A and B are shown apart, each in its own frame.
Chain A
């Protein structure tokens, strides 16, 4: 075959073109050999030979590129194989660590964070900075969960999604669907906090259904009373204890009064928190990958009746009793105070939520104090003593419920706070180290000339970052992950525990513990802490400048020669 005919072959032309491309992009260090090999292709005797020669060349090119890349990787960031433009003339202004080391350390850090524990840690810590608000990804997870539950006709999962989703319309649909599938779940009608984050009263129809389904419970009536005017009592208590005139106004609101009377007369007080916890655990045990944020936001948005409303109605009744006593109707006064006392006791005993227990006790104690006073004034010493004794008992119960009173609970909460600070501290350090490593390496790799010609402080800064930031990142990621493990174990223990609301702290302590730093940084103390740090930094700088000036002044005296 002639040279011209073989040159016309498509395969040969392609082979020539490929080898030409390879020769043009051959690594600098042995480009001469690439050109030498490429030059010989014109001598090949057939199209087959051309293709064979070209394939050999491409193979060699690949080896050269890989070998060159490996050599490049063994150099520190910012240096090149030729060593020409990037090699500094003075003392080393390149990082000490090789690119291989940097890549290996960054890869190990990425691997740690990619572990399931690492992913959960990132998700949880990130959410703690947003006060456990659901993210878009949480919303998508919930939507997927709802779609599957609808397909499988699973009422408990539908109910959990209904209670957890941030989309009110979707919550409404899912609530209806869950109750339709399982009428036992009717309590979810009154368990979604419609005043959080926006005031949006629950549907009157739902509350009516709940009252019909659970007529002995005070909570459905209280929720219905709240729904009449959710902001009724807020301004009253902002000015301290309400005035007589305000009691008179409230006594004129018959609709509200009827509902509140029903509630105070109901034999039970149950705000369905226990059932919500039980439902959450059941579903979380089935769906172990469910994010703690979803669980937490669902529980946090559980509706409890307005406690101010309750207090206000108790005050209205006590006010009414005082009026009856002043008018000489002692039996009515005693009955009214007794009703308030009994309701407070039912609330304190029936609820397993601490704040509800406390409010119940406050209501009961207010009535008991008035009763003791009432009995003393009527000469009924025995009843007065009993009422005073109840006041003391309630005081003792208060102390037992006070946050931090239980030393074991307090110690656990403190431990989680400390661990939370470690997690947040090392998480923040990891982010900063990651950014520093990225900035240092990119500056050295992308703008080596600029870095070489810039002020030494910038060069040193970039080298320092490229040298140490990856290692700091790896260590910070490791400690971040290890310090998050107790939190992960707490979530696991919560899922595995028996259904008791009293160990709610097992979940809440770790989650609040993680918020220790974010709450401080994003809260009202933020400005104070920023200015404190600023002042300390400036003072340190001033001290440094003064000390250096003093040292420079002293030096010529110390060494006159």
Chain B
């Protein structure tokens, strides 16, 4: 990948959520729900991932007229492998655990 960013626990959680449904497009609100990360923290993470081309984005036209279009996200092909490695490394360092394993 060449470029590296500092991976916080929140970033790892977002990557984990995106990997959970790899290849599928997800909305920002559903990512927030699944990770428990508030919007003010989630979107800067998504913005950074997108800046490094690890995140693919697209707009989805609203099904109901008058509603604004929604933004969708998924990890790019290369990023998935990288994300898995980062998550595994973080788990090995005991830096981060997936939400299900924390309890």
Q: Which residue of A lies closest to B31 (CB)?
A: A40
- In the assembled complex, which residues on chain A have CB atoms less than 8 Å from the CB atom of B2? none
Mask: chain A, 21-59; 1 = CB below 8 Å from B; 0 = not: 000000000101101111110111000000011011111
Contact of A43 among B29, B42, B43, B47 (CB under 8 A): B29
Greatest chain A CB density within 10 A among B32, B38, B40, B44 is at: B40
Contact of B40 among A36, A42, A55 (CB under 8 A): A55
Instruction: Let me know if A63 is at the binding interface, CB within 8 A.
Output: yes
Contact assessment for B71 and A53 in the assembled complex, using a CB-CB cutoff below 8 Å: no
How far apart are B91's CB and chain A's nearest CB, in angstroms?
Answer: 27
Within 8 A of B (CB), among A211-256: none
- In the assembled complex, which residues on chain A have CB atoms less than 8 Å from the CB atom of B40? 55-60
Q: Which residue of A lies closest to B62 (CB)?
A: A39
Contact assessment for B70 and A53 in the assembled complex, using a CB-CB cutoff below 8 Å: no
- In the assembled complex, which residues on chain A have CB atoms less than 8 Å from the CB atom of B6? none
In Å, the complex CA distance between A235 and B25 comes to: 104
Given contacts A36-B28, A53-B39, contact A60 B44 (CB under 8 A): yes
Contact assessment for B27 and A40 in the assembled complex, using a CB-CB cutoff below 8 Å: yes
How many residues of A are counted as interface, with CB atoms below 8 angstroms from the partner's CB atoms? Answer: 21
Contact assessment for B47 and A52 in the assembled complex, using a CB-CB cutoff below 8 Å: no
Instruction: Let me know if B41 is at the binding interface, CB within 8 A.
Output: yes
- In the assembled complex, which residues on chain A have CB atoms less than 8 Å from the CB atom of B67? 39, 42
In Å, the complex CA distance between A35 and B70 comes to: 8
Instruction: Let me know if B69 is at the binding interface, CB within 8 A.
Output: yes
Contact assessment for A56 and B29 in the assembled complex, using a CB-CB cutoff below 8 Å: no
In Å, the complex CA distance between A52 and B70 comes to: 19
Contact assessment for A33 and B47 in the assembled complex, using a CB-CB cutoff below 8 Å: yes
Q: Which residue of A lies closest to B47 (CB)?
A: A33
- In the assembled complex, which residues on chain A have CB atoms less than 8 Å from the CB atom of B23? none
Contact assessment for B41 and A37 in the assembled complex, using a CB-CB cutoff below 8 Å: no
Instruction: Let me know if B77 is at the binding interface, CB within 8 A.
Output: no
Contact assessment for B71 and A39 in the assembled complex, using a CB-CB cutoff below 8 Å: yes
Greatest chain A CB density within 10 A among B41, B43, B46, B69 is at: B43
How far apart are B26's CB and chain A's nearest CB, in angstroms?
Answer: 11
In Å, the complex CA distance between A37 and B43 comes to: 8
- In the assembled complex, which residues on chain A have CB atoms less than 8 Å from the CB atom of B27? 40, 43
- In the assembled complex, which residues on chain B have CB atoms less than 8 Å from the CB atom of A44? 29
- In the assembled complex, which residues on chain B have CB atoms less than 8 Å from the CB atom of A43? 27, 29-30
Contact assessment for A52 and B38 in the assembled complex, using a CB-CB cutoff below 8 Å: yes
How far apart are A36's CB and chain B's nearest CB, in angstroms?
Answer: 3
Contact assessment for B39 and A39 in the assembled complex, using a CB-CB cutoff below 8 Å: no
Contact assessment for A39 and B68 in the assembled complex, using a CB-CB cutoff below 8 Å: yes
- In the assembled complex, which residues on chain B have CB atoms less than 8 Å from the CB atom of A42? 67-68
How far apart are B75's CB and chain A's nearest CB, in angstroms?
Answer: 17
- In the assembled complex, which residues on chain B have CB atoms less than 8 Å from the CB atom of A37? 28, 39, 43
Given contacts A39-B68, A39-B69, contact A60 B43 (CB under 8 A): yes
In Å, the complex CA distance between A287 and B13 comes to: 68
- In the assembled complex, which residues on chain B have CB atoms less than 8 Å from the CB atom of A38? 68
Q: Which residue of A lies closest to B44 (CB)?
A: A60
Q: Which residue of A lies closest to B46 (CB)?
A: A33
How far apart are A4's CB and chain B's nearest CB, in angstroms?
Answer: 13
Q: Which residue of A lies closest to B41 (CB)?
A: A56
Greatest chain A CB density within 10 A among B42, B62, B67 is at: B42
In Å, the complex CA distance between A361 and B64 comes to: 108
Chain A residues within 8 Å of B, Cβ to Cβ: 30, 32-33, 35-40, 42-44, 52-53, 55-60, 63
Chain B residues within 8 Å of A, Cβ to Cβ: 27-30, 32, 38-44, 46-47, 62, 67-71
Q: Which 3 A-B pairs have the closest CB atoms?
A: A56-B40, A56-B39, A36-B71
